Structure 1
Amino acid sequence: METIKNAANYVAETVQGATATASKEANKEVAKDSNANVGTRLQAAGDAVGDKVDEQTHNRKADVHEQAAKH
């Protein structure tokens, strides 16, 4: 039963990591957009940094759950 739980958590964390990656990339594009106003660009840059942290956190958690599911 614990293996199933770890596998489900692995999938959930992997999906959340992928979502954070997509958000990070979108925010990076907004931050680079010279047609956007400075406030929008700064906000997007800050959001991209936060998304990167989320991405790494979810990916680490996914790795932990993956290893736990194997054992």
Structure 2
Amino acid sequence: METIKNAANYVSETVQGSGATASKEANKNVAKDSNADISTRFQAAGDAISDKADEQQHNRKADVHNQAAKH
């Protein structure tokens, strides 16, 4: 039963990590957009940094759950 729980958590963290990756990339594009206001670009850059941290956190958790599901 614990293996199933770890597998489900792995999938959940992987999906959340993918969402953070997509958000990060979108924010990076806004930050690079020379047609956007500077405040918008600055906010998007900060959000991209936050998304990167979320992405890494979810990927680490996914790895832990994946390893636990294997044992």
Asked whether the two chains share a fold, i.e. TM above 0.5, the reply is yes
Rounded to whole Å, the distance in 2 between the matches of 1:37 and 1:30 is 10
Corresponding residue for 2:53?
53
Rounded to whole Å, the distance in 2 between the matches of 1:5 and 1:51 is 26
Once the two structures are superposed, residues 18-67 of structure 1 have per-residue CA deviations (whole angstroms, 9 ceiling, x without a partner) of 00000000000000000000000000000000000000000000000000
Q: How does 1:2-21 map to 2 (within 5 A)?
A: 2-21=2-21
Count of aligned positions:
71
Rounded to whole Å, the distance in 1 between the matches of 2:50 and 2:43 is 11
Aligned identity (percent) is 82
* TM-score, scaled to structure 1: 1.00
Q: Tell me which amino acid in the other structure corresponds to 1:60.
A: R
Q: How does 1:26-65 map to 2 (within 5 A)?
A: 26-65=26-65
**Which ranges of structure 1 fall in alignment gaps of 5 or more residues?**
none
Corresponding residue for 2:66?
66
Per the TM alignment, residue 69 of structure 1 is displaced from its structure 2 partner at its CA by: 0.1
